Amino acid sequence: MNSQKKIALTLPDGSSRTFDGPVTGSILAADIGPGLAKAAIAIVVDGEQWDLSREITQD
């Protein structure tokens, strides 16, 4: 049984993405598109800059 909570993320353009459990900035960028996955160097979560390898664990 999968006990991981789904994570729903709202992007700056107002669109949203849902993932099955924690997701990193790298995974999020790749989900949006290969160009962004290649170009991204960081993400901003709740106004704070995060490394792409840091896990987002909540909405």
**pLDDT in the model for residue 3:** 63
The reported pLDDT for the residue numbered 37 is 96
pLDDT recorded at residue 2: 55
CA 56 to CA 5: how far, in whole Å?
12
Report pLDDT for 21. Answer: 92
Spell out the per-residue pLDDT of the chain, length 59, in tens: 456 789 999 999 999 999 999 999 999 999 999 999 999 999 999 999 999 999 999 98
Q: What pTM does this model have?
A: 0.85
Measure the CA–CA gap between 8 and 59, rounded to whole angstroms: 5
- Between CA 11 and CA 45 the distance in angstroms is 10
Domains and CATH numbers, the chain: 10-53 (3.10.20.30)
Separation of alpha carbons 52 and 56, rounded Å: 10
